[in-house]
Amino acid sequence: MNRLPIGFGLLLAFQAFLVVALWAVDPVQYTGQRLFGSILAAQLVIIAIFLHLYLSGSEDYDQEWVAVGLAFIVLICLLAYFVFAG
Amino acid sequence: MDFLLFLIGILLPYVTVIIFLGGLTFRAARWWSIPVPTKVMLTPAPTTWPGVFERLTLEFVAFRSLTKGGWKLWLGAWLFHILLGVTLLTHLINFFDYGLWNQIGYGWYEGAGYAGIIFAAVVAFLFLRRVVHPGVRYISKASDYGLLLLLLSLILLGDYTRSFSGVDVSAVSQYLNGLLTLHPTLPPDNPAFLLHLLLAQVFLMYLPFSKVAHLVGWIMAPTRNQRNDARARWHRNPWNPVVELEPYASYAARYQRELEELGPGGERQ
């Protein structure tokens, strides 16, 4: 079983979730701009992971970088929850 | 609820301390009693005790041996332990004297909060690394994931307790002081705090029987705490039976007749 497409699918689903969340939060009226920024930052990290995986192609890629990227997303989400939104 | 408060807040903490200290002592004593038949230090190793002290200090401060696992793992583990230290320090301040924060400054109190958030992210990295990296996943057991998940929930609950639960920290400090002075009182009736306390106790009780026992194990590893003096000193293997050694002079005196019967070549005439 190739796990890469599943990983891509999960990341895409997460990104879609973020977009829906953004739509629900409505940044035009919502004053929590830092929260908005943190969501964008999380998206950027996700795009960076995509890029890393894409550029690696079929070659063996460094999975630890994916873990680093995911951990950064966790960090951004935590900051958004505990600091920006709190 | 009062019974739960009594169980989690008064009874369990003392049980935890007994299991934690007893378990660690038991494990350390067992490691200590295992014979080391040969010199097994990892070379290049120091030849003197000050050298060994320097090596272990470097290991303790900088996790030198972990650099062999890659810099990303090293950074994650190092950050994890630094933030663990910060967390322990802030907990100790809350334990003994909550008023100390007024002297230290509000900025440091805020900083400790951020440290807790980064702490959770670092643990998340260590967990995700196990999930994402096939090599690490292959050597990971359920207990490895379980420990990290337990830690993650413990830290997240701690962050939540601090930021949103509205628990009275001075009341917590008073409660913890009561535990320390053996005059326990019921803990503050706050679900987030109680759950955090319970998870902390579960973690501390599990600690001596898990791989987190490297807390005492790192200093007892013969691969690092031995001197590289195999050629200079006789390393006594504690497994060997005691052998009575006889000097040649008394041996020769005892078997003089037999030895004289044998020729210089050691053959009977």
Per cent of chain B over pLDDT 90 is 55
- What value of ipTM does the predicted structure carry? 0.73
| pLDDT attached to residue A61 | 77
Average pLDDT over residues A57-80: 84
Per cent of chain A over pLDDT 90 is 1
Tens-digit pLDDT profile for residues B111-122 = 999 999 999 999
Confidence tier at B266 by pLDDT (50, 70, 90): low
Contact residues, chain B, for A70 at CB < 8 Å? 124-125, 128, 132
Confidence tier at A81 by pLDDT (50, 70, 90): confident
Q: Is A74 within 8 Å of B124 when comparing Cβ atoms? A: yes
- Is any Cβ of chain A less than 8 angstroms from the Cβ of B124? yes
Confidence tier at A86 by pLDDT (50, 70, 90): low
Confidence tier at A30 by pLDDT (50, 70, 90): low
Average pLDDT over residues A55-81: 83
| pLDDT attached to residue B138 | 93
The single-letter DSSP state of residue A84 is I
Nearest-neighbour CA in chain B from A28: distance (Å): 27
The arrangement of secondary structure in B2-234, i.e. its CATH architecture, is Up-down Bundle (1.20)
Nearest-neighbour CA in chain A from B19: distance (Å): 33
Q: Is A82 within 8 Å of B124 when comparing Cβ atoms? A: no
Residue B168 has pLDDT above 70, yes or no: yes
| pLDDT attached to residue A54 | 74
Q: Is B124 within 8 Å of A79 when comparing Cβ atoms? A: no
Confidence tier at B52 by pLDDT (50, 70, 90): very high
SS (H, E, C) chain B: CHHHHHHHHHHHHHHHHHHHHHHHHHHHHHHHHCCCCCCCCCCCCCCCHHHHHHHHHHHHHHCHHHHHHCHHHHHHHHHHHHHHHHHHHHHHHHHHCCCHHHHHCHHHHHHHHHHHHHHHHHHHHHHHHHHHCHHHHHCCCHHHHHHHHHHHHHHHHHHHHHHCCCCCHHHHHHHHHHHHCCCCCCCCCCHHHHHHHHHHHHHHHHHHHCHHHHHHHHHHCHHHHCCCCCCCCCCCCCCCCCCCCCCHHHHHHHCHHHHHHECCCCCEC
Average pLDDT over residues B236-260: 86
- Is any Cβ of chain A less than 8 angstroms from the Cβ of B42? no
- Residue A35, classed as helix, strand or coil, is helix
* Torsion angle defined by CA atoms of residues B51, B56, B62 and B68, in that order, rounded to the nearest 10 degrees: 90
Place of tokens 């401060």: B61
Average pLDDT over residues B89-114: 87
Q: For chain B, give the longest Cα–Cα distance.
A: 101
Domain-wise residue ranges, chain B? 2-234
Residue A71 has pLDDT above 70, yes or no: yes
Distance CA B146, CA B24 (A): 20
Confidence tier at A1 by pLDDT (50, 70, 90): low
Average pLDDT over residues B65-73: 88
The amino acid sitting at B262 is L
What is the pLDDT of chain B when averaged over all its residues? 90
Contact residues, chain A, for B122 at CB < 8 Å? 71
Q: Between B100 and B50, where is the model more confident?
A: B50
Tens-digit pLDDT profile for residues A14-24 = 767 766 676 66
**Which residue blocks in A1-86 are alpha helix, DSSP H?**
3-25, 33-56, 63-79
Average pLDDT over residues B144-151: 94
Q: Is B132 within 8 Å of A66 when comparing Cβ atoms? A: yes
Q: Are B46 and B228 in contact (CB under 8 A)?
A: yes
Q: Is B124 within 8 Å of A75 when comparing Cβ atoms? A: yes
Residue A28 has pLDDT above 60, yes or no: no
> Which of A63, A71, A79 has its CB closest to that of B124?
A71
Place of tokens 């979730």: A17
Place of tokens 């001197």: B227
